[in-house]
Amino acid sequence: MQRFWIIIFGVAPYLLHAQWSSIQNARNLPLDSEVTVRGRVTNDYELGKIRYMQDGTAGIAAFPGTGSVSGFESNVSLGDSIQVTGILDDYYGLLQINPITSYTVISNGVPPAPKLLSFSQISESYESQLVAFDCVVFAAGGGVFEGGATYTVRDLNGQPELVYLRSGHPLSGDIIPGASIRLVGVLSQFFDFQILPRNDSDFQNSTCFYFTEPLVQSNITTNGFTIQTTTNFPATAKILYGNTPALGNEIILTGTNQQHAHSFSNLQPGVVYWIQLEAVHNGTLIRSDIRPFVTQSLSSGQIKVFFNHSIDPAHANGYVPDGQTANQVLAETIARINGAQQTIDVAMYNNSRSDLVNALKDAHARGVRVRYVAALDATNSALSTPPPFPVIYGNELAIMHDKFLVIDADMADKAWVMGGSMNWTTQNIFTDFNNTLFIQDQSLARAYELEFEEMWGGEGGAPNPLNARFGAVKRDNTPHQFIVGEIPITLWFSPSDRTTSKIVESLYTTDDEVEFALFSFTKNDMSDALVDQHLSGREVHGIMENINDVGSEYNYLNNSGIECLSHPISGEFHHKYAVIDVNGAGPTVITGSHNWSFSAETINDENTLIIEDERIASLYHAEFQKRRQELTTTTHSPQHSLFSVQPNPCRERIQVTGVENELVAFSILNVLGLPVMRGFLQATQAIEVEQLPTGIYFIQIYTRDGLQRIPFQKI
């Protein structure tokens, strides 16, 4: 119902006439000052509890945090003119009123028109105001928006800025605009400036000249690669490139075209090159993002695979891992550190191993530059006595969850990268279940080094905390595509690189089978992809440790007919990997530190490798099968009875006893282990098997506590 009278919440009527100041004057006061301001509201529920307001002088955010009067977010709407009293507060760069001690809705109306700016004008002067930018292009155009994620947009000059959608935003699930648009939103801050669109009306049609895709790399060799992009109108173009983002070299492309491509053939092996493309149409100049790309290195490309528990050799296609005990992976880690000649960079969530720290100390003592990034919130007992090498602790909002090591990145024959899921703790190495890779490749090492230095705050030997970036403020600024030996590899860092979308893309390439092994799984995107593949006839199997996490996908997957096993046995199942089509045309492994979770995608520091190789896939498949075998013996909670099948043998139907009122998933397998039927069971439900040929079958019952496989005979 439209409101025609003044409504007052949380204050006596006479307070409407309390002394108030302009928003600009309020912004000039010290933090913790009490202020009273009036302004027009520019957002509604789509940005959460917060309301942004502005007058003719400036904008400010009002947030009903702890100690605020009640009802603010439910009573204050888009377009309202309001008066707010509260305390000035800084929230990671955003000036806001919090707590709100009183507020008044003075009148209803429409929000002010947005101020038209360029990206170069973004500053504190426009913070918390409704703004607009012409000729803006999303780097991920054509994809799908996810809540709780940041998206890079660029203007005509190629300058990037960030768009943020909170969790539950109404744009979640919508297609990301693929064309140039006028972008409207509230200019906010979270360490860096962010543009906050409110709904799809903030994406307005534009007839600007723009790039229809980002720069794409292909044909990677030791002395070059091909770069390509397209524009929506025919244009002349040139490529700018160099060894730093300052560029410095240019190549004029011939002709007037919509497709713009150049094949470099005179580059150096294992070197990162920064590239930008400029295009001109009818006098309008646009610039792409400045992106890093890397040539293939002259390194050996050796990839050493370690598990800290044994695999099943029967499923390894004749391959043998480089180690399958805790002592072997520990010895390899120390050997790599001991072999370092110039540099060691460590990004490790937590560390309780004095032997590993002592190896780093020894390297430092012999002149190796050692730099170390640790998690601020983790227990790092091995670093409790400050080591002689510098350490920076990071990600105060979430966790620095990386587990990687970079050695001698400037030496082609000595450069190594360690990645995987293993922390440097006694429990993670000796008790929990983990995987670790050691890769001898300079190109990959230099990409990891770039990511490390973003958290380190620079290239120097000492950290620069003022420039250090962790979590959501990091940028997508590393190469992603590599040829290691002859193996295609892609590398993604979180939360800047939209890693979830890359994992989902890989899952959708499955032709035959996908296996996933995860400590935590709470992200709907991956589970939806797995269910889609399952319903399309692909085999899907999984193992999870934390089945009771908030938002866990465990029940959803099992209720969809997918075999997803819990891991109740001793030792945490700490893996974060998937194996795709191990015996198919494109065998692939996804591995790293990235759990399939909301936090890993949006706020943690993580790294993920996607490796297309039959040997690597076979080894991870053999690891998965060994863990699966350990769980497919009867596993049940003490409060449940064992399941049994009656009658057995059977003719038309079977009844599974021991099933309680809770819905459980089941699969019936033939003697080859292939599923012939899937469904769900409750206590009194019978399963019709009359249509099955005579023979021996197995029914697998999936519960929260594990899996039980029961043989039966159909006659």
Looking at residue 2, its pLDDT comes to: 34
Helix axes 524-535, 499-507, angle to 10 degrees: 10
Cα–Cα distance, 349 to 165 (Å, whole number): 27
Residue 315, amino acid: H
502 within a domain of the structure (yes/no): yes
Q: Is residue 478 part of a domain?
A: no
Asked if residues 155 and 193 have their Cβ atoms less than 8 Å apart, the reply is: no
Omega before residue 99 within 30° of 0, cis: yes
Domain with residue 503: its CATH number is 3.30.870.10
Check whether residue 184 and residue 317 sit in a common domain: no
| Nearest of 202, 207, 132, 214 to residue 174 by alpha carbon | 202
Please tell me the predicted confidence (pLDDT) of residue 7: 36
Residue 546 shares a structural domain with residue 653: no
Are residues 615 and 681 located together in one domain of the fold?
Answer: no
Task: Tokens 């690891």: give the residue.
Answer: 623
Strand intervals (E) in 247-387: 249-252, 257-263, 272-281, 284-287, 291-294, 303-307, 343-348, 369-375
Q: What's the pLDDT score for residue 410?
A: 98
| Shared domain check, 652 and 553 | no
Q: What are the start-end ranges of the E strands in 378-455?
A: 391-394, 403-407, 416-420, 435-439
Cβ atoms 10, 44 nearer than 8 A = no
Q: By the 8 A CB rule, do 588 and 509 touch?
A: yes
Domain of residue 63 covers 7-107
Reading the block at residue 81, the tokens are 């003119």
SS (H, E, C) 467-484: CCCCHHHCCCCCCCEEEE
The count of domains in the chain is: 6
What long-range pairs does 330-333 form, CB within 8 A, spacing at least 24? 330/355, 330/356, 330/429, 332/304, 332/306, 332/436, 332/438, 333/405, 333/418, 333/424, 333/436
The pLDDT value recorded for residue 4 is 33
Give domain status of residue 2, yes or no: no
Residues 59 and 178 in one domain: no
Same-domain check for residues 94 and 121: no
318 and 401 together in one domain: yes
28 plus 158 within the same structural domain = no
Those residues with Cβ within 8 angstroms of residue 137's Cβ, 6 or more apart along the chain or in another chain:
153, 154, 179, 180, 181, 210, 211
Domain's final residue, options 167, 186, 205:
205
Counting as low any pLDDT under 50, the low residues of the chain are: 1-17, 634-641
The CATH number that applies at residue 26 is 2.40.50.200
Task: CATH number of the domain at 680, please.
Answer: 2.60.40.1930
For the chain, the C-alpha Rg in angstroms (whole number) is: 29
**Which domain-ending residue is among 276, 294, 312?**
294
| Residues 198 and 220 reside in one and the same domain | no
| DSSP code, position 13 | G
Write the pLDDT tens digit of every residue in 207-254. 888 888 889 999 999 999 999 999 999 999 999 999 999 999 999 999
pLDDT for 276:
94
Domain CATH for 226: 2.60.40.10
Residue 294: closest CA among 461, 442, 497: 442
The angle subtended at Cα 398 by Cα 395 and Cα 399, nearest 5°, is 70
259, 320: one domain: no
Residue 636 lies in a domain: no
In a domain, 476, yes or no: no
Q: Is residue 637 part of a domain?
A: no
Contact call for residues 575 and 308 (beta carbons, < 8 A): no
Model confidence, pTM:
0.77
Tokens 């007052």, residue located: 8
**Conformational region of residue 301, where left means phi above 0, alpha means psi within -120 to 50, and beta covers everything else:** left
Residue 61 forms part of a structural domain: yes
Domain boundary among 602, 631, 660: 631
130 lies in some domain: yes
pLDDT given for residue 12 in this prediction: 38
Residues 128 and 177 in one domain: yes
User: Based on the domain organization, do 307 and 436 belong to the same domain?
Assistant: yes
Closest CA to 624 of 323, 290, 315, 234: 315
